[in-house]
Copies of this chain bind each other. A is one copy, B any other.
Amino acid sequence: MKPALSVGIAGLGTVGAGVVRLLRDNATPIAARAGRSIEVVAVSARDRKRDRGVALEGVRWHDDPVALVADAAVDVVVELIGGAEGAAYDVVMAALAAGKPVVTANKALIATRGSAIAAFPNASLRFEAAVAGGIPVIKTLREGLAADRIASVSGIFNGTCNYILSRMRAEKLDFATVLADAQARGYAEADPSFDIDGVDTAHKLAILAAIAFGRQVDFASVHVEGIRGVNALDIAFAEELGYRIKLLGIARATAAGIETRVHPAMVPLTSPLAQVDGVNNAVVIQGDPVGQIVLQGRGAGAGPTASAVVADLIDLARNRAAPLLGVETGSLQACASVPMAVHQGAYFLRLMVADQPGVIADVTAVLRDHSISLESMLQHGRSPGDAVAVVLVTHVTHEAAMAAALARLAALAAVREPPALIRIETA
């Protein structure tokens, strides 16, 4: 057996401690699959005294994570500090500059620091854990489906949002109530904006789109909407119409170019994404000639993330190499994302309108003016003088037309609240 692969871990939070634990608990099968043992020889974290539930005797401690990179005993650097800047960025750059392989779970860094990383075209940088936790979706796209032309990659990539939307539906609660409870339970951060405003999903989508379509990571072009605007009323209407509301990340090759977008979407109950509840993640890949592939699993947490980090270490131990984004830099395509305005799709539109004669005529006239045709319309109950909900489901139309129509609808005197619009994803 070859000599051990010596690992230095920067960052000993939940995931870092989970990696240390996994490398010990599963040492025997890991060594068999890696063809050599994998050992943690050095770590770096801010607080030496904190009890992390793992024994660190005999492991060198570096207060400065960059010093860990320079440690001659360290073959591979595992970066689990997180964030696109600061110590995480410094550690990764130092390791790449030193020619040491890096394994990271840092989606923000991979998604937004592409140009800095590109300065090291021969870098060995692996990030399976950055997307969808324990689901090996990076490997699946880069290797398992390497023969395919990918038409689309879409999915549920943020467990916090999916947990919130699942509970809103199951318990008929509003967003603020579930968010507060999720924060109390530790399922959502004190500052939840990174998750609920869709940024985390967009980071992951930008990474997947790069690998799926063989291009540079283009986070800036991702259209991002979060779930703050999703309300219990629309979840109930979705149910009635045979849909579930999910925060999706969608990367799709269209005639106009590649769309990359993150937003709440209505998916039919027959979609493999409709049934994915709680903190689970799921990815749907459409490839030619493979057809549809669906991957599901836990998208976060120490166990699934450590599973992905150590799988990357095993690939390194076996010398199973792959270019950063699946192809050499020179083979990357120059295909930018297209703006959201050129998107075409079907829409769910809810208006709170005054319950008075002529309102529906005004609303449908606006849609007609923008060549938007309706698949169905729904109105429940009556309350003369008050606002009632009118739901319109459109056939496939242009986002730009929809946006223009929406502005006019919002300006109608009979429309009492800003209209709610949720895109419908059937594919």
The yes or no answer to A376 lying at the interface (CB within 8 A) is no
Complex interface: stretch among A255-263, A323-331, A346-354, A417-425: A323-331
B contact residues around A289 at 8 Å (CB): 18, 22, 134, 302-304, 306-307
How long is the Cα–Cα vector from A287 to B30 in the complex, in angstroms? 13
The yes or no answer to A121 lying at the interface (CB within 8 A) is no
The yes or no answer to A411 lying at the interface (CB within 8 A) is no
Given the known inter-chain contacts A18-B289, A293-B135, A298-B291, please indicate yes or no for A146 contacting B30, CB distance below 8 A.
yes
B contact residues around A298 at 8 Å (CB): 290-292
How long is the Cα–Cα vector from A302 to B147 in the complex, in angstroms? 13
Indicate with 1 or 0, residue by residue over A306-339, a CB within 8 angstroms of chain B CB atoms: 1101110111001111110011100100000000
Which positions in A face B, CB cutoff 8 Å? 18, 22, 26, 29-30, 32-35, 128, 134-136, 139-140, 142-149, 214, 272, 275, 287-298, 302-304, 306-307, 309-311, 313-315, 318-323, 326-328, 331
A-B contact list, 21 entries, CB within 8 Å: A22-B289, A26-B147, A29-B149, A32-B327, A32-B328, A33-B146, A33-B326, A134-B293, A135-B293, A136-B140, A139-B140, A139-B143, A145-B311, A146-B310, A146-B314, A291-B298, A293-B295, A294-B296, A295-B295, A319-B319, A320-B320
How long is the Cα–Cα vector from A297 to B143 in the complex, in angstroms? 16
Stoichiometry, copies per complex? 2
Given the known inter-chain contacts A147-B314, A275-B275, A290-B303, please indicate yes or no for A32 contacting B331, CB distance below 8 A.
yes
How long is the Cα–Cα vector from A150 to B26 in the complex, in angstroms? 11
How long is the Cα–Cα vector from A194 to B33 in the complex, in angstroms? 33
How long is the Cα–Cα vector from A327 to B318 in the complex, in angstroms? 11
| CB-based contact A143/B320 at 8 Å | yes
How long is the Cα–Cα vector from A297 to B128 in the complex, in angstroms? 21
How near does chain B come to A410, taking the closest CB pair, in angstroms? 40
| CB-based contact A136/B145 at 8 Å | yes
How long is the Cα–Cα vector from A34 to B293 in the complex, in angstroms? 21
How long is the Cα–Cα vector from A275 to B268 in the complex, in angstroms? 14
How near does chain B come to A332, taking the closest CB pair, in angstroms? 8
How long is the Cα–Cα vector from A30 to B30 in the complex, in angstroms? 31
How near does chain B come to A393, taking the closest CB pair, in angstroms? 25
Seed contacts A291-B297, A319-B321; 15 additional CB < 8 Å A-B pairs: A32-B328, A33-B214, A135-B293, A136-B139, A139-B143, A143-B314, A144-B311, A145-B307, A147-B309, A289-B302, A290-B298, A291-B303, A292-B297, A294-B294, A320-B321
